[in-house]
Structure 1
């Protein structure tokens, strides 16, 4: 539809915009200080005037349809223009505020998120961030987090995913350990070494077997399900373990083991839910994470 050719009733358009941003008619009515029936009639009148369905009901929430999302950009532009006029007249500045929850692995949360959050504080100080540190896949559909940084592609159609880049992992050890235990010359030599596991030793052994590495239970002298603990165990010279290049770079003394023979691809996915289309604060954080965590080589896609 050519929205530019449509004449909008601002009250109807404002009712639509508030319903999108608040997620329900009752919440939108409270924000606009109207009764819910009045606001509902305004939205229904806009749908009738345009001849399209703007919302679908998902549980207790109203979710914009494809037509609704297409209209949203135009109505939001009207709203921002009206806000700018109001703020200009009152001498105030527009603030973007609210909480955004990000879930990411322990290593990424500790070593890569802090400089990003420092920049976010400078650019959007009204946004508060909660970091949920987890190596497990959190369920964004249940709102356990607003944005997830994952190493596997999500498989639910309601989630929005962007593949940022592929990091690389290698096996690393401290020189002191390798001086004592010997430096492996081949992948087969790894079977004679102490390996620090990442919690599920059988899964790690199975994964490395695909690269030609044969490990048994006796190789896993230590194990931890926390990446920072694994890193510290490696730093103490207790064995060899798999680490991302970014994590290993925090300890310059670490020595890669057979890097030319064993490189582990680690995809980096940025994932959020459909609220990305309607929440400015989530959009701002999502875009900043995408810009600072990887090259812009992939479009945002429905996963």
Structure 2
């Protein structure tokens, strides 16, 4: 095996990282306060060093190649490590103060964020966190929140997005409810079962149809927009509903309604305004969240 190591240049890696986060060479060059040709040369030099293509142009925008996506994960970890080292060496985490507003879905805000916020409080006690728990997306451009955790990649050029670990979702029901239905439980055997909807339109019916379900509005006796209230209804045996795997699997009152059905992977994106590049407070919290959510 060839044990020769690559002479890795962090400046080139940082140029790649910021370009990936900004989505264009021009925006990355502005963020790094360098000329676009200089930035392009650094990215090209990194590609030559590694012997792979990191970007391709899709519809006038830069898109990561498969190799670029794989490298991004490692470079993000390097960037976080470098930031933590700097904060630790200078005590800046202690010195950073102020408010940061984080927006997330109701389930993520209730079941994922609390432990992360507690760790953040110990890491940077001067930062005060406000959480918006809503299934509606906060408008970061209008500063409704500083940072958002979303299930989709934003398209606004003014926003920076980093994909973090996907969240697995399953359909759950109370054990008492499932005991009423024939075994083994399948999509066909529970064709007349009751499900819980978030609204009155057919969007959920259409999404479940992709998984093999053939449901009608009559399968949905309750409509509850609040996910936490809906989860309580699931636990009380009203019907079948969605929940994060880590929450549903640990709840003793429920079980997966369809054990043979694979998890439904839900994308998770950490989104922030470009002010990230000029705010030490936002950068620290954003990087901390990215590390914890990954």
With the length of structure 2 as denominator, give the TM-score of the two structures: 0.67
**Larger of the two Rg values belongs to structure:** 1
Shift in alpha-carbon separation, 1:157–1:183, aligned structure 2, 3 A: farther
CA–CA separation in structure 2 for the residues paired with 1:282 and 1:249: 34
CA–CA separation in structure 2 for the residues paired with 1:218 and 1:68: 53
Shift in alpha-carbon separation, 1:230–1:93, aligned structure 2, 3 A: closer
Shift in alpha-carbon separation, 1:210–1:272, aligned structure 2, 3 A: same
CA–CA separation in structure 2 for the residues paired with 1:222 and 1:115: 31
Aligned to 1:215: 215
CA–CA separation in structure 1 for the residues paired with 2:31 and 2:122: 33
Tell me the number of residue pairs that the alignment of Structure 1 and Structure 2 aligns.
214
- 1:191 aligned counterpart, secondary structure: coil
CA–CA separation in structure 1 for the residues paired with 2:270 and 2:230: 24
Aligned to 1:125: 125
CA–CA separation in structure 1 for the residues paired with 2:185 and 2:94: 61
Aligned to 1:139: 139
Aligned to 2:187: 187
The answer to whether the 8 Å contact 2:249/2:255 transfers is: no
Aligned to 1:66: 29
Q: Give the drift of 1:129.
A: 1.0
Q: Give the drift of 1:136.
A: 0.9
CA–CA separation in structure 1 for the residues paired with 2:185 and 2:130: 45
Q: Give the drift of 1:119.
A: 1.0
Q: Give the drift of 1:251.
A: 1.4
Aligned to 1:273: 273
Mean Cα deviation higher: 98-107 or 200-209: 200-209
- 1:281 aligned counterpart, secondary structure: helix
- In the alignment, does 2:167 pair up with 1:204? no
Which sections of structure 2, spanning at least 5 residues, go unmatched? 1-26, 35-85
Q: Give the drift of 1:148.
A: 0.2
Q: Give the drift of 1:201.
A: 4.9
- What pairs up with 1:105-124 in 2 under 5 angstroms? 105-124=105-124
CA–CA separation in structure 2 for the residues paired with 1:184 and 1:197: 25
CA–CA separation in structure 1 for the residues paired with 2:293 and 2:253: 24
- 2:242 aligned counterpart, secondary structure: strand
Aligned to 2:103: 103
The answer to whether the 8 Å contact 2:153/2:269 transfers is: yes
Mean Cα deviation higher: 275-284 or 242-251: 242-251
- In the alignment, does 2:261 pair up with 1:261? yes
Aligned to 1:27: none
Q: How much is the aligned-residue C-alpha RMSD, in angstroms?
A: 2.4
- 2:191 aligned counterpart, secondary structure: helix
Deviations 1:121-165 (A, max 9, x none): 111111111111110122111111110000011111111111102
CA–CA separation in structure 2 for the residues paired with 1:67 and 1:103: 27
